[in-house]
């Protein structure tokens, strides 16, 4: 039987590094996509995954066992992404679209047609620009809600915000993106 | 209508984002049925949500394979633990690069069908390894560590070059506390990461020295510095073409 997340966290807290393998295998894609949707840079996102799991290992002993592991990791990941983005604000290529490989992976599932591929590429570029235009916290709320499907309470805990602020942030972000994504059809 | 609609506007956005449940959701849906402006707003918000659902990020995968990513994390954990242990610096200087390289080597030669387990970085490889293979591992680890040092230094220097945020608008000061702290930390880790006395690092030595000089300047800055102090550092960086040199040297070290 596969060990549960809780078992793995208990082993990490006891200093058992072997538990990192199964924990990462289970959660690394999700953590990567959180970081990528926020940072919009594959290498930066990959580094963020590394740091997230290093922090998880180092903080395992302080993990509150009443919380689920996935939102806890999401919290570490998004806060690390925010910090990373702030520190390298001018350096990050927030306006640079994802490369063809990422698009191809997506398109391979949905549609092989060149027209659709071009449309998806344009959508990726516009979304990157639209997310890049949001303030840090609004962007984080959008990522956790619309990319990670976290509920508003979980987002409030992850970002250390009040529930009301999370709601306002999501509302404002969507309104702003209605303008920046205008003319692009879903 | 405006005031009334304004009250519902936020709920309509939350409805589009799938963030309302139970009674709140039902109330919002009922209201939308009676309000044309809200229906238009809901449709527009749903378009945004639908566009984000098409974002290629949803299917993206990290550039590195999982095993290599795990090996990096294991190596970083080892590094962090050794850095915290007093008196362990000399041991770590030898053991960490070897352990990291050994973990990566074992991953490279592992059968693709084998389960994704990675040996503990501290464990010595069981297979007989020739002296030459060990030397290759050491060289590879030395280069990898130098690349990491340059990359982290570049992060700091780019932020400084890009004019950090103001910390005191009235006195026109800029906040470089984090950059100064990271510079001090990097300089203290330099002996652990960069083995400039190695022959294969000879070509990188001038750039590494330039980088360290600049980090010392940043480390010495006041947390809330005058913009002129930063401009002086920016001029030096520009004169030495430091960021470009870091890029070129990083590529060279990465082969």
Those residues with Cβ within 8 angstroms of residue A178's Cβ, 6 or more apart along the chain or in another chain: B44, B45, B47, B48
**Residues in chain B closer than 8 A to A178 (CB atoms):** 44-45, 47-48
Q: What's the number of CA atoms in the CB half-sphere (13 Å) around residue A140?
A: 26
Domains of chain A: 1-89 (1.10.1740.10)
Residues B88 and B75 in one domain: yes
The answer to whether A50 contacts B76, with C-beta atoms less than 8 Å apart, is: yes
Query: Final residue of a domain: which of B129, B152, B185?
Result: B129
Measured CA to CA, the distance from residue A186 to residue B8 in angstroms comes to 24
Burial bucket for residue B54 (CB in 10 Å: 0-12, 13-18, 19+): middle
| Percent of chain A at pLDDT exceeding 90 | 59
- Confirm or reject contact between A134 and chain B (CB < 8 A): no
Residues B42 and B82 in one domain: no
Measured CA to CA, the distance from residue B48 to residue A31 in angstroms comes to 23
Residues B200 and B235 in one domain: yes
- Structural domain including B195 reads 138-255
Query: Final residue of a domain: which of B129, B154, B180?
Result: B129
- Number of structural domains (chain B) is 3
Residues B243 and B145 in one domain: yes
pTM of the complete model: 0.58
| Percent of chain B at pLDDT exceeding 70 | 73
Inter-residue contact A98 to B59 (CB < 8 Å): no
Residues B77 and B53 in one domain: no
ipTM score assigned to the predicted complex? 0.82
**Residues in chain B closer than 8 A to A52 (CB atoms):** none
pLDDT (mean) for B199-212: 82
The answer to whether B73 contacts A24, with C-beta atoms less than 8 Å apart, is: yes
Q: What is the pLDDT of residue B52?
A: 93
Burial bucket for residue B228 (CB in 10 Å: 0-12, 13-18, 19+): exposed
Residues B119 and B23 in one domain: no
pLDDT tens column, B11-48: 999 999 999 999 999 999 999 999 998 999 999 999 99
Q: What is the pLDDT of residue B188?
A: 80
pLDDT tens column, A10-64: 999 998 989 999 999 999 999 999 999 999 989 899 999 999 999 999 999 888 7
């Amino acid at each position: 039987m596969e060990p549960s997340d809780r078992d793995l966290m208990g082993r990490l807290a006891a200093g058992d590094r072997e538990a990192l393998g199964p924990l990462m295998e289970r959660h690394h894609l999700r953590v990567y996509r959180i970081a990528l949707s926020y940072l919009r840079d594959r290498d930066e996102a990959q580094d963020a995954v590394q740091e997230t799991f290093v922090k998880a290992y180092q903080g395992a002993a302080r993990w509150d066992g009443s919380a689920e592991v996935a939102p806890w990791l999401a919290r570490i990941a998004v806060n690390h992404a925010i910090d990373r983005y702030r520190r390298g604000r001018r350096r990050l290529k927030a306006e640079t679209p994802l490369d063809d490989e990422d698009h191809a992976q997506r398109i391979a599932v949905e549609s092989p047609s060149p027209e659709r591929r071009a449309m998806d590429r344009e959508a990726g570029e516009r979304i990157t620009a639209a997310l890049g235009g949001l303030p840090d916290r609004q962007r984080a709320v959008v990522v956790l809600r619309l990319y990670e499907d976290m509920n508003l309470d979980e987002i409030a805990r992850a970002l250390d915000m009040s529930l009301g602020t999370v709601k306002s942030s999501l509302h404002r972000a969507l309104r702003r993106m209605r303008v920046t994504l205008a003319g692009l059809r879903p | 209508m405006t005031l009334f609609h304004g009250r519902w506007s936020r709920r309509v956005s939350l409805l589009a984002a799938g963030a309302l449940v139970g009674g709140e959701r039902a109330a919002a849906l009922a209201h939308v049925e009676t309000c044309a402006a809200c229906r238009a707003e809901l449709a527009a918000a749903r378009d945004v949500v639908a566009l984000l659902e098409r974002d290629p990020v949803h299917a993206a995968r990290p550039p590195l394979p999982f095993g290599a990513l795990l090996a990096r994390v294991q190596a970083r954990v080892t590094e962090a633990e050794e850095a915290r242990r007093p008196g362990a610096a000399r041991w770590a200087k030898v053991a960490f690069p070897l352990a990291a390289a050994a973990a990566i080597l074992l991953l490279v030669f592992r059968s693709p069908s084998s389960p994704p387990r990675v040996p503990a970085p501290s464990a010595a490889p069981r297979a007989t390894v020739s002296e030459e293979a060990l030397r290759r591992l050491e060289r590879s680890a030395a280069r990898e560590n130098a690349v990491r040092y340059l990359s982290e230094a570049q992060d700091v220097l780019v932020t400084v070059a890009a004019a950090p945020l103001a910390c005191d608008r009235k006195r026109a000061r800029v906040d470089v506390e984090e950059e100064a702290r990271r510079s001090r930390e990097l300089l203290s880790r330099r002996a652990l990461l960069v083995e400039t006395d190695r022959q294969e690092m000879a070509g990188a030595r001038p750039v590494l020295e330039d980088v360290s000089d600049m980090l010392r300047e940043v480390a010495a800055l006041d947390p809330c510095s005058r913009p002129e102090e930063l401009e002086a550092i920016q001029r030096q960086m520009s004169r030495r073409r430091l960021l470009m040199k870091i890029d070129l040297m990083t590529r060279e070290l990465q082969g």
